[in-house]
Structure 1
């Protein structure tokens, strides 16, 4: 009897590959809220949208502004995010570091690998 691959099998292989990637000592791990912040920043970058600290703190479902500010600070220290000046010195733009971009590149490669193995 031949084994058929369900779409769920591809996703589960991807999750296993991601776990292996996270075990590598590239960047310090993120907590679940930080992962959500990273995804928001990544999507904004992909869409070429400006995303300020204030914009992030106003996102629904991320928690209190003080919590988000603390996570941004933590993610900067861990090497995931950078802040850039804008025309208004009171506003800072949030962006991914080169290491965070490399992480997304790795995730993309893992998605392709998981799909090929199906």
Structure 2
């Protein structure tokens, strides 16, 4: 078996968001070295917190990341912050699968995966 590539070689983030395959690919590429994964350790920790309790963690995460709730200013620094921001109605997003970047099914898949990993 060959070793995984040292840099990310999978689909683009816009393609994964459009096809709702981001969660699937986060899981798929997690075994790669950090440079070959979609999210680094800090982003993974933030995503884990969010999927465990989206409604309660949303404002806390955005505040910690320095994202302005009304304007979305500061979103250019973090894919997970963008996911969190769009989840509950920020910037035209909707609740869960209604305009959010992750569907409710994807959130459930990630929640279960994080629980299995015991992190």
What TM-score comes out, normalization by structure 1 length? 0.37
Structure with the higher strand share, 1 or 2: 1
Higher radius of gyration, 1 or 2: 1
Between 1 and 2, higher relative CO (CA 8 Å, sep ≥ 6) is seen in: 1
What TM-score comes out, normalization by structure 2 length? 0.37
